[in-house]
Structure 1
Amino acid sequence: MGLKRFGASGLALWLLAARGFAGGSNAPLADAMEQVDRASVRSLLDQRVDVNQAQVDGMTALHWAVYHDDLETAKRLVNAKANVKAANRYGVTPLSLACTNGEVALVELLLDAGADPNTTLRGNETALMTAARTGKLGAVRALLARGANVNAKERRGQTALMWAAAEGHAAVVDALLEAGADFRTALPSGFTPLFFAVREGRTDVVQRILKAGADVNEAMQPRKISGKAPSKGTSPLILAVENGHFELAAVLLEAGADPNDQRTGFTALHTLTWVRKPSRGDGDDGDPAPTGSGNMTSLQFAKTLVAKGADVNLRLKKGASGRGILSKVGATPFLLAAETADVPLMRTLVELGADPLQANAEHCTPLMAAAGVGTLAPGEEAGTEPEVLEAVALALELGGDVNAVDDNGETAMHGAAYKSLPKVVQFLADKGAKIDVWNQKNQYGWTPLLIAEGYRPGNFKPSAETIAALHRVMLANGVSPPTKLPGSSD
């Protein structure tokens, strides 16, 4: 669950949109102020018209004066006994508008005239939250000095500190913390002010909250919602990596973040593999990696992680496994980099001391993973055919066995069939893949040819090009491909 968001002028724009449905009014003073007709405003005040007469949607002259940041006219209206607590039809008071704009003199004028420092919008967003969200330090200080509740919560449990942290308003965060803001408050999702700042890449804010006493290794503790318990264990470090904030992640490491923490099931180094190369999806351009922040590259961060104690050969203790799925149990970062055909990361990890031959708990090797073992959606997962060819070639160069067989009876050739890569089929054959080894059924009853023909989980569409490649390789080895599918009658 994230913070609900409005732009800095979102509230004012919403008011204008609402005005479009409000129709005409019998409030000449408010009408004149809406049009910033100051001469008419002065004339009407001299005539002692009702200063609090509202337009049909509840907007008064004071609302409009504040909206237009017109301090001089606002003073005239307040002196004429304008109601500083007036709320329009949508529950918006002049103080809320002033906190959106952030003109501290207007905020102080309204507060000194009796405006409630704890006034709220519908949904219980307080004026302090509004000022914190828009980053208006003067307004924040004015509200705090006059008794605004620094730990008030809106209807979803969000606080002013959460707003300021997410938006990166470091000076406002300082002011709120000095006023006693609770940085440990968490939403049902598990997000605290620290996690909001980390997710958005707000390094300055993160450092301030850590200095205030937050634990750099605290993990999210989401509460059970609608009968389903969300996953637990995400640390600030993992969240920073997932969002591509590598400089911030390095700051967290300096602050004592555990580089080998795998409470989520994966360490930061493992996580880096799919952050660098997410699944391609079904679009032409694929799913992009997170934009992130800072100037540190992901490969530089990998080196920083190892320098800070990350075990480059750490094997995962848990992970999904099952019919046709590459088990993550026992997987190293290098194996996962091979799975996404990420050659630059594979090379970097080897330079850092990774064992390029370490298999997972089911003895699936990095070479098999690079070739495609575990692929459920060919064409949608990370690794194009040219990338896979390069990754397979590197795995072989580093000593991978092209004829290795895992505990599920699968080989690299099975992987090429899973990933529907005909050029990889031929490449493996050219590199010595033995037909009597790979032309066997795995534990699910599938040979590479059967997989290419559609006997597989997830995607049942046959790959004609892969079938043809397998036929060529089989014929070149003196093996005639079956002329009918299993189960067909004579």
Structure 2
Amino acid sequence: MSAAFLSALLFAAAPPADAPLADAVETRDAAAIDRLLDREEPGVNLAQPDGMTALHWAVRRGEDSIVARLINAGADATAETHYGVTPLALACELGDAGIVRRLLDAGADANARFPDGSTPLLSAARTGRPAALKALLEAGSKPNAADPRGQTALMWAAAAGHATAIDVLVAADANVNATLPSGFTPFLFAVREGEVAAARRLLAAGVDVNAPAEVRKGARNGLRNGTPPLALAVENGHFELAAALLNAGAAPDDLRSGFAALHAISWVRKPMRGDGDPAPTGSGSLTSLEFVRVLIDAGADVNLRLKGSPPGHPGLNKKGATAFLLACESCDVPLMTALLDAGADETLTNADGTTALLAAAGVGALGSGDEPAATEAEAVEAVRWLLDRGAKIDLVDDRGETAMHGAAYKNRPDVVRLLAEHGADPAVWNVENRSGWTPLEIASGQRRGNFRPSPETIAAIQAVLARPFTVRSD
């Protein structure tokens, strides 16, 4: 029999540690607590098998009077369980300022490091009780101490939306501009989580509402370098917070993230399907369409054009695209309508000369696993809406793409039939684009990153080509 096995066997057979006072406090047995504490040797620091003492349990239960009696009886305020948990760690999670003060007065370390590398102040900041934070700071807790990932108490309070805790930490000279390698600051944490009150407190403390994310080279899971707070709020669906940022002076047409807030509305409302990210949960009572009006009223240029394609947004070439063209790409008729009502120019194209109709039909190849934001029914609605407004059906962009090429890219047989019914001329669209593909060849699998044929789209195009072409009189 090995020594290790014997040791394990003996340990398993050993009776649990005898800690009657800890057991009594755990079960809230008041009579047993009184009886044991009245003894000359109450065994106040005896621990259960996992290291929990009576004081641990009294703190966890929030029993301030019992905490006081145990400390008076000699309980060790620095005792650790077998997992390194101290009474102060439990008190900070609870946020009970009275118990925190008692433990600090009894010798608990205000700057101790817990097993996860955090400090009492960091732990209390997550709970957000200002009185507990004040007690720790008065006992010497360092306001800018960080956990192993570099996160500070102010970052935790901001992310959790604890506005009054932010006030306490700022008053103690917590660094409002502390920055992680990922680019996150306390303010950007508040913005990402949609915490309006927390964001306002930090702005009042002097944070620049337009300060972009500064991401260190090689940082993982970070923001896009240069992302301004407004863009972060909009991409996370926090439109009420975004409106507050605009009121605080956020620049509505800031393009440092590669797009302005108005452009982002299209993919926030209708993100790419398949391997794309889901729509954000968002927050607040302001809808995305209401926020469009807020942006315009704040001075956003409804016809602002992108300088390039933002990372992570395949499909249509975004260079030169306006918010309206992006809304057409996602076949979002309510957004298209809202933008037109706000003065959008529906004739503006991207750098390839792609029109609103071509974008709605589907021009812009996607990679394998990617699916367009719009369903085919939504695409039919958007294409019909544009045609009813007089969109020219036989235009060809600079890459040789037509609306019919777009329908083939996105596997939309109903759009193929709709275009044919509205007089799309085969002499115009049944030609090779710059890549050398006709709509039928695209439907058969000739496209970048995705070689799967679409039998339904192939059949629809072949049926259109097989019937006589008639020019519509309307």
Same fold (TM over 0.5): yes
- The correspondence for 1:56, drawn from 32, 49, 54, is 49
Q: Evaluate the alpha carbon distance shift between residue 381 and residue 325 of structure 1 in structure 2; reply closer, same or farther with a 3 A threshold.
A: closer
C-alpha distance in 2, partners of 1:180/1:150? 7
The answer on whether the counterparts of 2:259 and 2:310 sit within 8 Å (CA) in structure 1 is: no
Using the TM superposition, give the Cα deviation of residue 194 of structure 1 relative to its aligned residue in structure 2, in angstroms.
Answer: 0.3
- 2:240 aligns with 247
C-alpha distance in 1, partners of 2:315/2:174? 46
Letter in 1 for 2:18: N
C-alpha distance in 2, partners of 1:280/1:23? 58
C-alpha distance in 2, partners of 1:79/1:222? 51
C-alpha distance in 1, partners of 2:84/2:422? 73
Q: Evaluate the alpha carbon distance shift between residue 23 and residue 135 of structure 1 in structure 2; reply closer, same or farther with a 3 A threshold.
A: farther
Using the TM superposition, give the Cα deviation of residue 177 of structure 1 relative to its aligned residue in structure 2, in angstroms.
Answer: 0.8
Superposition map of 1:344-383 within 5 A: 344-376=334-366, 380-383=371-374
Does structure 1 residue 290 correspond to structure 2 residue 280?
yes
Does structure 1 residue 109 correspond to structure 2 residue 102?
yes
Using the TM superposition, give the Cα deviation of residue 124 of structure 1 relative to its aligned residue in structure 2, in angstroms.
Answer: 1.9
- 1:306 aligns with 296
Letter in 1 for 2:192: R
Q: How many residues align?
A: 453
Using the TM superposition, give the Cα deviation of residue 176 of structure 1 relative to its aligned residue in structure 2, in angstroms.
Answer: 0.8
- 1:35 aligns with 27
Normalising by structure 2, we get a TM-score of: 0.91
Q: Evaluate the alpha carbon distance shift between residue 23 and residue 279 of structure 1 in structure 2; reply closer, same or farther with a 3 A threshold.
A: farther
Letter in 2 for 1:231: R
Amino-acid identity (%)? 55
Superposition map of 1:25-424 within 5 A: 25-47=17-39, 48-225=41-218, 231-281=224-274, 288-319=278-309, 325-376=315-366, 380-424=371-415
Using the TM superposition, give the Cα deviation of residue 287 of structure 1 relative to its aligned residue in structure 2, in angstroms.
Answer: 6.3
Q: Evaluate the alpha carbon distance shift between residue 182 and residue 378 of structure 1 in structure 2; reply closer, same or farther with a 3 A threshold.
A: closer
Using the TM superposition, give the Cα deviation of residue 397 of structure 1 relative to its aligned residue in structure 2, in angstroms.
Answer: 3.2
Q: Evaluate the alpha carbon distance shift between residue 245 and residue 363 of structure 1 in structure 2; reply closer, same or farther with a 3 A threshold.
A: same
* Worse overlay, 55-64 or 41-50: 41-50
Using the TM superposition, give the Cα deviation of residue 110 of structure 1 relative to its aligned residue in structure 2, in angstroms.
Answer: 1.0
SS in 1 for 2:350: coil
Letter in 1 for 2:293: K
Using the TM superposition, give the Cα deviation of residue 46 of structure 1 relative to its aligned residue in structure 2, in angstroms.
Answer: 2.6
Unmatched tracts of structure 1, length 5 or more: 1-21, 480-490
Superposed CA deviations along residues 38-72 of structure 1, whole A, max 9, x for unmatched, are: 32233223331332222232211111111111112
C-alpha distance in 2, partners of 1:413/1:161? 55
Letter in 2 for 1:358: L
Q: Evaluate the alpha carbon distance shift between residue 230 and residue 78 of structure 1 in structure 2; reply closer, same or farther with a 3 A threshold.
A: closer
- 1:3 aligns with none
Superposed CA deviations along residues 367-403 of structure 1, whole A, max 9, x for unmatched, are: 1010001142698321111211111122223342211
Unmatched tracts of structure 2, length 5 or more: 1-13
Superposed CA deviations along residues 304-361 of structure 1, whole A, max 9, x for unmatched, are: 111111111111111169xx94211101101100000000110111111111111100
The answer on whether the counterparts of 1:98 and 1:106 sit within 8 Å (CA) in structure 2 is: yes
C-alpha distance in 2, partners of 1:378/1:97? 47
Using the TM superposition, give the Cα deviation of residue 459 of structure 1 relative to its aligned residue in structure 2, in angstroms.
Answer: 2.4
Normalising by structure 1, we get a TM-score of: 0.88
C-alpha distance in 2, partners of 1:394/1:228? 40
C-alpha distance in 1, partners of 2:169/2:133? 8
